[in-house]
Amino acid sequence: MTTSTRPLSVAVIGAGMAGRSHAAGYRNVNTVFGAGLPPVRLAAIADAHVELAEDAARRYGFEKALPSWEAVAEDPTIDAVSIVVGNALHRPIAEALVAAGKHVLCEKPLAGSMQDARAMAGLERSAEVVTAVGYTFRRAPAIAAIRDHVRAGELGDPTLFSGRYWCDYATDPNGPLSWRFKGGPGSGALGDVGSHVIDVAEYVAGPIASVSGAVLSTHIAKRPLPLGAVVGHNSGPVSDEFGEVENEDTATFTARFESGLVGTFSVTRTGFGLPNGLFFDVLGVGGRAAFDQHRPAEYLFDDAQPDARTRGARQVIAGPQMPYFAGGVPMEAPGVGASNGDNFTYQARAFLDQVAGVTEPLPACAGFADALRTMEIIQAVVESSRSDGATVAIPPVA
């Protein structure tokens, strides 16, 4: 493990939208929470699109830009690395980094296929380094506070979890056929945004036991081929030639949790007017809590108040009484709020706390095994959709 006597050297593989978020997180880790983390050396950002890597390195203060992930794996001075590239590349990069003795934080979903995901979970079991997966919403103060309400029994016996993640990044039929539209059923909206809402559901309400009633739909069946690199969800120059979209734009399903709780889920990447619409409600016999990512500095809470005249959902403003807020923002005052970028900082800090063996670390990041479970749930949703909505059991948590 890294000691506090020398800098902890970090790198990011992938300089797109999410890669820049990881880079910003590493830059800020020593500005939040307590002491104990060693100095962080911002070593390198790698991307096959070198100009993109150079721009990200300049923006976030990294020492250099590299043209390939192999250059990161071969650099003996780098201790910890974020993998933020196309899903199909996660396994070979993770295997090379772990073999080189580097700690790995991999973006979700874990891999491009179940075979690769299982191999990565096996790699984690034998690895002598920290392996983690980027489920940033676990770090949102309001979501963590709702989890505390549920775990403390403040909603009474839970009766329903309703989760949805509605985005609009794929509404344009002339958007280029990037890697996001390849890979088969389950790798589209389910893998991209569904993995987040599934992880949030289990984080808040416990393990899912089965799924049923699944329906997958592709609304835009063909897209123009790109003429160059496509960064994140961005558009770009396209040709007159079209290719087939291989995965789903929208998915819906129901779930049964191990506790008996019922769940309903819907995800889409063609939800017009919803740039980043993660929403969920948790209802119980004695209360309700609800979150909307478009309003991340608050959540709604309703419980059995004794005075019927004042009953009803009330707005709870994020503040130092919530997880991650105290020590996590420069101005520790209610109403200041925390952004999606802050979540990446908290995630990076939690990852490096694990790497450095900090005495009082943040709660650990999800591991490869956790992300494999999310992919098993996604695969079960696909199987349900192929079987006219039949119930598909999820293996119990090990």
pLDDT at residue number 2:
41
Residue 358 lies in a domain: no
pLDDT at 109 over 60: yes
For residue 305, is pLDDT > 80?
no
Which pLDDT score, from 0 to 100, does residue 4 have?
56
Indicate if 123 and 177 belong to the same structural domain.
no
pLDDT of residue 5: 67
Nearest to 396 by CA among 209, 174, 182: 209
pLDDT, tens digit, 9 for 90 and up, residues 20-32: 999 999 999 999 9
CB within 8 A of 182, min separation 6: which ones? 246, 247
pLDDT of res. 6: 85
pLDDT digits (tens, 9 = 90+) for 154-204: 999 999 999 999 999 999 999 999 999 999 999 999 999 999 999 999 999
Within a domain: residue 361? no
The C-alpha angle 101, 103, 127, rounded to 5 degrees, equals: 65
Q: Residue 133 above 80 pLDDT?
A: yes
- Whether 102 has a pLDDT exceeding 50, the answer reads yes
**Could you tell me the CA-to-CA distances from 396 to 114, 131, 151, 216, 256 in Å, in that order?**
17, 22, 20, 25, 12
Question: Tokens for 397?
Answer: 């948590």
- Domain end point (choices 137, 167, 187): 137
Q: For residue 247, is pLDDT > 70?
A: yes
Provide the pairing of β-strand 392-393 with 208-217. Answer: antiparallel
Instruction: Indicate whether 122 and 232 sit together in one domain.
Output: no
In a domain, 349, yes or no: no
Looking at 88, 114, 137, the residue that finishes a domain is 137
CA torsion 364-153-255-267 (nearest 10°) is: -60
Tens digit of each residue's pLDDT (9 = 90 or more) over 339-396? 889 999 999 999 999 999 999 999 999 999 999 999 999 999 999 999 999 999 999 8
CA 360 vs CA 37, 69, 263: distances in Å = 10, 32, 35
Asked which of 145-154, 199-208, 329-338, 350-359 is least confident by mean pLDDT, the reply is: 329-338
Cβ neighbours of residue 387 closer than 8 Å, sequence gap 6 or more: none
Residue 37 belongs to domain with CATH number: 3.40.50.720
Check whether residue 228 and residue 115 sit in a common domain.
Answer: no
Confidence (pLDDT) at 304: 79
71: its two tokens: 């250059």
Does residue 224 sit in the same domain as residue 320?
yes
Do the domain assignments include residue 318? yes
| Vertex 100: Cα angle to 95 and 104 (nearest 5) | 60
HSE-CB for 95 with a 13 A CA cutoff: 12
Predicted confidence band at 253 (pLDDT cuts at 50, 70, 90)? very high
- The span from the CA of 373 to the CA of 350, in Å, is 21
Same domain, 59 and 74: yes
Q: Is the pLDDT confidence value at 228 over 80?
A: no
Query: Over 70: is that where the pLDDT of 52 sits?
Result: yes
Structural domain ending residue among the three candidates 100, 122, 137: 137
What CA–CA distance (Å, rounded) separates 110 from 104? 12
Closest Cα to residue 144, out of 289, 315, 264? 289
In a domain, 24, yes or no: yes
pLDDT at 235: 73
Q: Which residue has the higher pLDDT, 117 or 235?
A: 117
98 against 34, higher pLDDT? 98
Q: Output the domain CATH number for residue 318.
A: 3.30.360.10
* Domain shared by 182 and 265, yes or no: yes
Establish if 395 belongs to a structural domain: no
87 shares its domain with 152: no
Tell me the percentage of the chain whose pLDDT exceeds 90.
Answer: 84
Domain count, the chain: 2
How far apart are the C-alpha atoms of 55 and 16, rounded to whole Å? 10
Range of the domain at 43: 8-137
Q: Residue 3 has what pLDDT?
A: 44
Quick one: 394 exposed, middle or buried, by C-beta within 10 A (0-12, 13-18, 19+)?
Answer: buried
In angstroms, the CA 337 to CA 319 distance is 7
Report the alpha-carbon distance of residue 336 to residue 344 in Å, rounded.
17
Residues 119 and 173 in one domain: no
Question: What is the Cα–Cα distance from 354 to 94, expressed in whole angstroms?
Answer: 18
